[in-house]
Amino acid sequence: MKKTNHFKTILSLGLPLMIGSVLQILMGTMDVLFISQLGTEYTAASSMGTSIAGVFFIFSMLVSAGVVALVARKIGEKNERAVQSYGITALILAGVIGISISLIAVVFSKQIISIYDPDPSLAVLIKKYVDIIFAFTFVVFLNTTLRSIIQSTGNTKGPLYIFGTANIINIILDYVFIIVLDFGIRGAASATVLSQSFACVMMMGLLYKQLFKDRHEFFRLFSVRLKEMKDILSIGIWACVQSIARPITGLIMMRIVYSVGGQSGSAAFGIGLNVINYFFIILTGLSGAISILVGQKIGEGNIDEAKEIVNEGIRYTFFNLILFSIPYLFLTEVLFIPFNTTPEVTAMGVNYVRIVFLGFIVLGHVFIYRGAFAGAGDTYPPMVAALFANVLCKLTLAILFTSVFGFGINGVWIAILMSIYTEWFVITRYYKKGKLYKNTIG
């Protein structure tokens, strides 16, 4: 059988995802840049608040992960009616779950913040930030689901334009609210929720335009279809467990970092995360493209080509590794200059980036395999790999290295490094078994 090169197809789907990822990460970086001008305590508060919010945002995977696989599969089967039906069902689920999560987070925000056991002044700043973010968490759920539906049809450019515009709005509002109007940390949170609300309205309009002929067809599908909800959640539950392991362990890791490194350690961790996030841009685009293509090829019944696409995607990830090796290993201090950091924060952050980067050698495999499993609708193996790596490995080693062996904050960084290799080993073992290509969904 003659092999086909899928570079153009992967690029056409993945490039908009990469650009969107750039803009999303840039938005986070600009938030930190503006907040860092207020001082280390504010940077630590925003880092901790973002870590908390991330735990709740991940629950959106309950819906978005399931709808990616189902819509891509139905596109491959050329079943337009099923695409519409699953899309509306996913939106209903996202709205209900998102509003519930928003209410829970707002009511219990003080208790949630206490996980960090922060100083009173720091706790006040964190609460000012997360109270606004929590109130609009349901918007994040809707946005994540809308983007997943539209991208699964093969349209990755539309969401790019919308979220790109939203990110520009966020940066402008950051400047206005934080610098001009002096709203402080509340200004950063307000800028985020307003820009996300704009994106939600625009994405809803794009979904309507792309999938429906008229409003009667659109509203007629707004009903409860239990089987479709079950299909979506049966896929999404494992993806959610997999994904939530990261922010929850991140939350605990931030607590460990704060206990051994104080506010400087928390600030270094938050800034360091922003610095290394740029490494994930290409991997995110490739993983998203692989997910869409694998789902569509399985829907067409072309399993061999789906496997070829996965192998091809892995080869492309090595270009990303080479691209970032110089700045992350040799120019690391330069990356921290824009953040107005103290020498202590810079030293901690530089060690974080350099140590963790050693694990990035195998991250390409992890991202591509995750995309393949997502496209196949088999989200259980990535969940097992994530739980084993993040909960059993990362947390256990971080506690041992800091509390027992006295490695200090570098012990946390080493624990993260070792967890990456653990996840790579587990997910690779699952992928080699090939069971993902035999499952049926929807």
Per-domain boundaries in the chain? 7-437
Highest mean pLDDT among 3-12, 18-27, 312-321: 312-321
For 271-288, the pLDDT digits (tens) are: 898 889 889 989 988 998
For residues 71-87, average pLDDT: 83
Cβ atoms of 140 and 105 within 8 Å: the answer is: no
Q: Tell how far CA 96 is from the center of its chain.
A: 21
Instruction: Give the mean pLDDT of the chain.
Output: 87
Residue 255: Cβ within 10 Å count = 16
Distance of alpha carbon 397 from alpha carbon 412, whole angstroms: 8
Helix axes 226-276, 409-433, angle to 10 degrees: 140
pLDDT band per the 50, 70, 90 thresholds, residue 440? low
Element spanning 52, H or E: helix 40-57
Res 3: pLDDT:
57
Tell whether the model's pLDDT for residue 251 goes beyond 50.
yes
Residue 80: Cβ within 10 Å count = 12
pLDDT band per the 50, 70, 90 thresholds, residue 69? confident
Does the pTM surpass 0.75? The reply is no
Residue 265 backbone phi and psi in degrees, to 5: -65, -40
Tell whether the model's pLDDT for residue 441 goes beyond 60.
no
Distance of alpha carbon 255 from alpha carbon 245, whole angstroms: 15
Which of 200, 211, 198, 145 minimizes the C-alpha distance to 169? Answer: 198
Percent of residues, the chain, with pLDDT higher than 90: 39
Cβ atoms of 258 and 399 within 8 Å: the answer is: no
Distance of alpha carbon 208 from alpha carbon 205, whole angstroms: 5
Which of 287, 305, 291 minimizes the C-alpha distance to 154? Answer: 291
CA-based radius of gyration for the chain: 21
Distance of alpha carbon 385 from alpha carbon 364, whole angstroms: 15
Sequence letter at residue 393: C
Kindly state the tokens that stand for 6. 């899928």
Report which DSSP code applies to 184.
T
Cβ atoms of 286 and 14 within 8 Å: the answer is: yes
For 170-210, the pLDDT digits (tens) are: 989 989 998 889 888 899 899 999 999 999 999 999 998 88
